[in-house]
Structure 1
Amino acid sequence: MPNLTYYSQKFPPHFKIRAEETTNVSWAELVWAAITVGKPESRNLFLHGIYSHFEYRMRLYMLKVHLMESASGEYEQTQVYKGLDPSEKTALSYFLGLTMAKLLAHRRLKTPWLQHIDRCQEKLNFVAKKRPDLVGLSRESEWLVMEAKGRSGAADEKALQNAELQTDELLDINGITDLLRVVSMTYFAGPGSLRVRWQDPPEFNQEAPSLTIEPLEFLRLYYEPLRSFINPAEQQITSESFSGFTFNMVTLSDFDVRIGLINQPDNFFLERPNWARNAQITRYLNPASGAVDDRTFLGDDGILIQLGSTWDIEAMRQEPLERRPIS
């Protein structure tokens, strides 16, 4: 399982986040983060039949083709990534920035629901070019504002400062100004090893506009794209048991990935915010054998990822063209 090193500053003590941490992040968890965080230009595509399928496949393609595991056990750029032109690298870096923001918000800030603020467009009382990328809801129904940046090379201090300004441009959510405001930057250090820097800016703009949205409506918007994708009218869906819950599963055989959504209404997550603790013991386990399986991940948002053998360590330590084909 690859390692991720990230650097943290200015977080409240109760999060117990050290200045530098290195942790295991499985490919399954990375896939989960990539497909569950929004991008503004795709918010409409998700809602239109076959285009939803293209969007999910695009995200899987960007991970599997552009990242690999190094001999030292870190995520690093593939030769395909290094061969992209600057504009392509910019788009991919932005996508990775969103992905790592989602992953760390879930892991360290107890915030499994994070989506692009444009998903909540109708609930915003302003139209402005400068605003934060992401808004999130924690398991304790607390709100998070986040700005995510990405670079294909070293970290950019000026971009981090600009990101802090963007988190300032939302005064409150439902009248609450005491929001956790976070900026993150995903970048590549040294020969191309993935890193993240993130921090909690201390201030906000007293003149900034507001967002008014109820938690249940926020969850509806969050799950809407996946429910559109996991649709029996569009493709074959199976119902399966995992960790004591039932999931509606879809298989993307061309990427050797299975995606599942827990069969529960949205209010389940508000009424049982700690439901996932019952499933945590098997989060990285194979439900059939109990053997360690880093190709399975269950998020606190009830989205399940199961990867096939083409994502194992032997495959993902090779360049994309050298990997064995999906059988």
Structure 2
Amino acid sequence: MVQPDEFEVWYTTEEFPDSFNRTGRMVFTADVLAHALFVTGRAPQDQVAYGWTSVYEWLHRVALIPAYVRRAPTGRLTRSDLARDLDRSEKVALSYMLGQAMTGVFSRQTASVRFLMHVDRYAARYGIRFAANTRKRADLFGERQTGGWVVAEAKGRSGNIDDELKETMRAQKRTIRSIGGTPPALAFGCAAHFPQYKGVPDHLKLHAVDPEEAEPEAIDVPADRDRFILAYYEPFLAALEVGQEERARDGYEVASFGPFGISVGVLASVAQRIRRAQRGRMEHLYQDVVELLDTYLAADGPARQFTDGTVVMCKWQQALDQDDWSTETAEDYPQWW
């Protein structure tokens, strides 16, 4: 049974390793969804150099939750009537961002990915240019807590998914051949969608595919863990700098964005280490950050903390529970959904 502040989203996997469930249930809060929107964002160029621009981009993304996302009485994630009335291009944008966020949630809950970021944001941060013969590449990459790089292609749809979309995900998720010279340990495509059941829109579902074959035009991402970690945390530090500073709590530096009803925090020791890296002390950054996380997070921490040493706290309960969404259907859905 989900709690009053939790969402429930079911997923199916196809062609995944045997260690993954064929079907499963994810339970998460709005804080988790907001965090996923933060880390998967395709922000313009260097987030630190752009200052408020990058933070506005993030606030724009997370604002879609209280505007368009609702929690049905069962805990299922559905859309507000406002979201259903958007024009086609607006629905595409909403589906795209939900697809990225839900791929982030899936990556953390089922694949134990601690750090996840958009490939283009990393590439823009360090001026990486890919081969001109293809624009096709996966959206996200990151690292599992157990070790090994992960590549994920994210899709979002406001209706059913079909075989054509599955084939597209199969192709794009294998377009990264290696990261820092190492083949990804796991690469998958993930589609968040609102399927039709007997002609009536259903709640949000997830479908993930993971075939083994690589694309002929697959690219190599010249990532290094120290630079990866720096790029991962820079958006959080930018948010701390431009938000309204709050009193430190539980060892975290915290900033709030009052009108948006959201606060962001970073473990103070991690934030300090990242700032030293920004001033030039890059050597052993990845190792230092992981050691700080493993040391601090081994102890009891705040319920809203994430395994990357950040916190995201939302005050959207009233908006998420509004009764401004159409009841999908009186029919019973299949039990495992």
TM-score by length of 2: 0.80
Kindly indicate whether the alpha-carbon contact (under 8 Å) linking 2:71 and 2:320 is maintained by their aligned counterparts in 1: yes
Which residue does the alignment assign to 1:133? 139
Alignment of 1:193-212 (within 5 A): 193-205=203-215, 208-212=218-222
Q: Give the whole-Å Cα distance in 1 for the aligned partners of 2:266 and 2:142.
A: 19
Kindly indicate whether the alpha-carbon contact (under 8 Å) linking 2:143 and 2:149 is maintained by their aligned counterparts in 1: yes
TM-score by length of 1: 0.83
Flag structure 1 segments of 5+ consecutive residues without an equivalent: 285-296, 322-327
Alignment of 1:129-168 (within 5 A): 129-168=135-174
Deviates more, 1:93-102 or 1:131-140: 131-140
Which residue does the alignment assign to 1:317? 321
Which residue does the alignment assign to 1:6? 11
Q: Give the whole-Å Cα distance in 1 for the aligned partners of 2:79 and 2:106.
A: 20
Q: Give the whole-Å Cα distance in 1 for the aligned partners of 2:323 and 2:44.
A: 28
Measured after TM superposition, the shift of residue 88 of structure 1 is 0.6
Measured after TM superposition, the shift of residue 123 of structure 1 is 4.0
Which residue does the alignment assign to 1:300? 307
Q: Give the whole-Å Cα distance in 2 for the aligned partners of 1:269 and 1:4.
A: 32
Which residue does the alignment assign to 2:229? 219
Which residue does the alignment assign to 1:88? 90
Q: Give the whole-Å Cα distance in 1 for the aligned partners of 2:177 and 2:243.
A: 42
Q: Give the whole-Å Cα distance in 2 for the aligned partners of 1:46 and 1:239.
A: 23
RMSD of the alignment, in Å?
2.3
Measured after TM superposition, the shift of residue 131 of structure 1 is 1.0
Flag structure 2 segments of 5+ consecutive residues without an equivalent: 1-5, 275-284, 326-337
Q: Give the whole-Å Cα distance in 1 for the aligned partners of 2:320 and 2:239.
A: 27
Identify if the C-alpha distance between structure 1 residues 239 and 123 changes in structure 2 by more than 3 Å, giving closer, same or farther: farther
Which residue does the alignment assign to 1:19? 22
Identify if the C-alpha distance between structure 1 residues 262 and 120 changes in structure 2 by more than 3 Å, giving closer, same or farther: same
Q: Give the whole-Å Cα distance in 1 for the aligned partners of 2:82 and 2:175.
A: 37
Q: Give the whole-Å Cα distance in 1 for the aligned partners of 2:167 and 2:36.
A: 25
Identify if the C-alpha distance between structure 1 residues 80 and 51 changes in structure 2 by more than 3 Å, giving closer, same or farther: same
Measured after TM superposition, the shift of residue 248 of structure 1 is 1.3
Identify if the C-alpha distance between structure 1 residues 86 and 21 changes in structure 2 by more than 3 Å, giving closer, same or farther: same
Measured after TM superposition, the shift of residue 44 of structure 1 is 4.8
Instruction: Give 1:166's aligned amino acid.
Output: Q
Which residue does the alignment assign to 1:288? none
Which residue does the alignment assign to 1:28? 31
Q: Give the whole-Å Cα distance in 2 for the aligned partners of 1:207 and 1:129.
A: 10
Measured after TM superposition, the shift of residue 74 of structure 1 is 0.5
Identify if the C-alpha distance between structure 1 residues 155 and 213 changes in structure 2 by more than 3 Å, giving closer, same or farther: same
Q: Give the whole-Å Cα distance in 2 for the aligned partners of 1:192 and 1:271.
A: 43
Identify if the C-alpha distance between structure 1 residues 48 and 37 changes in structure 2 by more than 3 Å, giving closer, same or farther: same
Q: Give the whole-Å Cα distance in 2 for the aligned partners of 1:239 and 1:182.
A: 40
Count of residue pairs the alignment pairs up: 297
Determine what percentage of the aligned residue pairs are the same residue.
23
Q: CA offsets, 1:53-93, max 9 Å, x none?
A: 32222122111111000122211010110010001111110
Measured after TM superposition, the shift of residue 100 of structure 1 is 0.5
